[in-house]
A = this chain, B = another copy of it.
Amino acid sequence: MTLRDVAEAAGVSEMTVSRVLRSRGDVSAQTRERVFAAARKLGYVPNKIAGALASNRVNLVGVVIPSLSNMVFPDVLAGIGEVLDETPLQPVIGTSKYDDDLEEKVIYEMLSWRPSGLIVAGLEHSDAARAMMANAGIPVVEVMDVDGDPVAACVGISHLEAGRQMAREIAARGYRKIGYCGSSSIKDHRAQKRRQGFEQGLAEAGLSLTDACLYAGTSGFGTGRGMTAEILGRTPDLDFLYYNSDINAAGGLLYCLEKGMDIPGRIGLAGFNSFEVLDGLPMRIATMDSQRHDIGRRAAELIAANALTNEVVTLAPVFLPGDTVR
């Protein structure tokens, strides 16, 4: 089923069919109707492969993220989608599973489709991936994080600063024996930066981390619960726990409540990300809104504007005290 078939059925040239189906140029209402009728009758679906090759235009935007299971990324995608819905552009998602080599392959695959733009999560990539992004000749935006050396445009928050700010909030509230619960994966660059900023912030307040508990695997209530049990078992006099994610913090919260601990008096808790699903826990967890929806929007806006810039857009995360800090 090709344009030619439709053209024959409608008794016009292929070019006229092409014009009608793309609403380009002037075509008489009568011809247009005949073409539409023929296309509909034949169930014609245009071949974008051929169209893209001929026009040298591909209305796709590659989006490379580590994972879809981490609730952070669907929110970024939602922001991207909102903006691209107003344009002819369509996002195409690829996942890197937190693996730089796989990310490189995914980026390569995407670029081989000659998309109109590329959005990649994070600033840490293989040299080859960085080279591809730099030479892609299309708008490329690195998202989520601004602490590093972007190859291209960049939209995100400073996770270092987010950690530092959290430390300041905690210190100002008089917590002194502070523990950290997070991922042991060095691949989780942003969580590592938050922890680093957090420790810096504590140092600036004359404090330091008393204990830390790390896990391998996925975040979850069970994970948060387990880490909390472990760290409090080891260091019972901690008066604050900072978690890499709200999900883990929620597990910790449930654990502490079950143990009858006074929150936020005896112990305070804070997480990161601000997930809407969690509204409805016994207490609202102190957290920081990571602005991921806006990050998606801003990145998509740069792509939609065909901006070949290297500008860095730094958004400010917002501290939400909730109920788990004094």
Is the pair B281, A49 in contact by a Cβ cutoff of 8 Å?
no
Is the pair B58, A68 in contact by a Cβ cutoff of 8 Å?
no
157-209 of chain A: CB within 8 A of chain B: none
Partner of A220, one of B112, B114, B280: B280
Is the pair B78, A74 in contact by a Cβ cutoff of 8 Å?
no
Q: Which residue of B lies closest to A278 (CB)?
A: B221
Q: Chain A, interface size: which category?
A: 35 or more
Cα-based distance from A131 to B45 in the complex (angstroms): 12
Q: How far does the Cβ of A14 sit from chain B's closest Cβ, in whole Å?
A: 16
Given A46-B112, A49-B53, A68-B74, A279-B132 contact (CB < 8 Å): no
**A225 at the binding interface (Cβ < 8 Å):** yes
Q: Which residue of B lies closest to A254 (CB)?
A: B282
Is the pair B81, A74 in contact by a Cβ cutoff of 8 Å?
no
Number of copies: 2
Kindly list chain B residues whose C-beta atoms are within 8 Å of the C-beta of A251.
Answer: 280
Q: Which residue of B lies closest to A111 (CB)?
A: B45
Kindly list chain B residues whose C-beta atoms are within 8 Å of the C-beta of A135.
Answer: 43
Given A90-B109, A282-B254, A276-B220 contact (CB < 8 Å): yes
Partner of A52, one of B49, B69, B92, B111: B49
Cα-based distance from A277 to B222 in the complex (angstroms): 7
17 A-B residue pairs with CB within 8 Å: A46-B112, A47-B114, A48-B113, A49-B114, A53-B53, A68-B78, A69-B71, A74-B74, A218-B277, A220-B276, A220-B277, A220-B278, A220-B280, A221-B277, A221-B278, A222-B280, A226-B280
